[in-house]
Amino acid sequence: MSWLWWSRVIALTKKELLQFSRDVVLVFAVAWFFTAEVFIAGSGVTMDLNNAPVVIMDHDRTEASREWISQLKQPYYNVLGQAQSREQANEMLDKGDVLGIFDIPPDFQKKLLNQQQTSIQLQLDASNIILGTLASSYSGLMNAQYNQKWMLKNMKIVDPDSIQAPIVEERQKIRFNPEGKSTWFMPISEMMTVITLLSLFLPAAIVVREKERGTIEQLSVAPLSTFQILFPKILAAEIIILVGVAVCIFGVVGTVFQVPFRGSLWAFFFVTMVFVYAVSGLGLFISSVSRNLGQALMVSFMLLMPMLLLSGAWTPRESMPDFQQYLMFLSPLSYYIDIGYSIILKGASLELMWLPLLEMFGLGTILFWFGLKQFHRQFS
């Protein structure tokens, strides 16, 4: 390629960046997504049970029942008090005022003292399946701890380590996120979602803006090929997104949420650059079927949702039906999620991730060629 070819590309890229800087709405949207959106997702979405509102129906009112209730502590549970009747408790559950109702039977302590099995009923509002599952798991663990304490108390054993009996001890070694912080997972996940959305929308928005202003016709009569017209737009989108990623990592993910960046920052930027290229082909396709910015945004969201659901960020590949597992290979985000988390939290190098990176680049080349052909057909 000659110097003249590259000088045209550089000049057109500067033009795209200048036009973007003058578009207040787009500038604000990009700034919002990479800062406020990531902050809200990291601080407002949690995978832990936090202050779940519950009420108690204690029909026994004995020392054993009070001891069991005392385990419902914050920050996991927020006990709103005793329900006066079953009807009142069910009404609170129906209205959504509480997440669960713990119903302790009247013979709770008597059966425990007589070495008989007893049960506590837990009614859960599982309309939010995530909270319902968390509450069920936490209460099951809490009940198991109570059973152990009651058994040791009746055996008059103060120190559990003094029991001379064979036991199985599980020693866990949790790597990469030892404390299980959701504030490490959610900001990174949201940042990658934002990158995906903007990789779809920005190239499409830049081209559609040209259509709305009527300047696309001026470019069509210039001595430029279709590739020379579109390539600077992709470069401009790459630069804008990479600058946004830098602001997000240094200003939000690393500073606010203290997420450790264990891998190479330059490697992550390089992978992000390849990912933006991989998705930009779909952005060119969006621009070919959209007449205005609103249509481009709607089509971007239509393509974004399947990519997110097939990325493996929320549902592991192994938990999906077989046909969806094969569809994941068609989602560039599934490769980016694996590589990105491996670099940031695991400290993986590109030497370990070269195969999925090559697969993402190959898929991106196919998508870019597809978007280029679609635009060229309309442009002609």
pLDDT at 27: 92
Rg (CA), the chain: 28
This prediction's pTM:
0.79
pLDDT at 380: 59
Cα separations in angstroms, 38 against 191, 263, 314:
6, 21, 17
Q: List the structure tokens of 60.
A: 């026994």
- d(CA 341, CA 5) in angstroms, rounded, equals 38
Burial of 245 (0-12, 13-18, 19+ CB in 10 A): buried
pLDDT at 144: 85
User: Residue ranges of the chain with pLDDT lower than 50?
Assistant: none
How open is the CA angle 8-10-15, to the nearest 5 degrees?
Answer: 95
pLDDT at 82: 87
- d(CA 315, CA 46) in angstroms, rounded, equals 16
pLDDT at 196: 92
**Count of C-beta atoms within a 10 Å radius of residue 379:** 15
Q: List the structure tokens of 319.
A: 């938990």
pLDDT at 157: 56
Tens of pLDDT, residues 309-360: 888 777 777 778 888 878 888 888 889 998 998 999 888 888 888 898 999 9
How open is the CA angle 129-135-141, to the nearest 5 degrees?
Answer: 135
Residue ranges in the chain assigned as alpha helix (H)? 3-22, 24-32, 38-44, 63-69, 86-95, 108-113, 129-154, 182-213, 216-220, 226-248, 265-289, 293-309, 322-327, 332-346, 354-379
Q: Are 55 and 81 in contact (CB under 8 A)?
A: yes
pLDDT at 276: 93
Q: Are 299 and 286 in contact (CB under 8 A)?
A: yes
Residues 6+ apart with CB under 8 A from 114: none
Backbone conformation region of residue 40, classed left if phi is above 0, alpha if psi is from -120 to 50, else beta: alpha
Tens of pLDDT, residues 100-140: 899 988 888 888 888 888 888 888 888 777 778 888 888 88
Q: Please, what are the domains in the chain? A: 3-45+181-379 (no CATH), 52-162 (3.40.1710.10)
Cα separations in angstroms, 184 against 155, 190, 241, 259, 344:
43, 11, 21, 5, 10
pLDDT at 8: 80
Residue type, 379: F
Backbone conformation region of residue 247, classed left if phi is above 0, alpha if psi is from -120 to 50, else beta: alpha
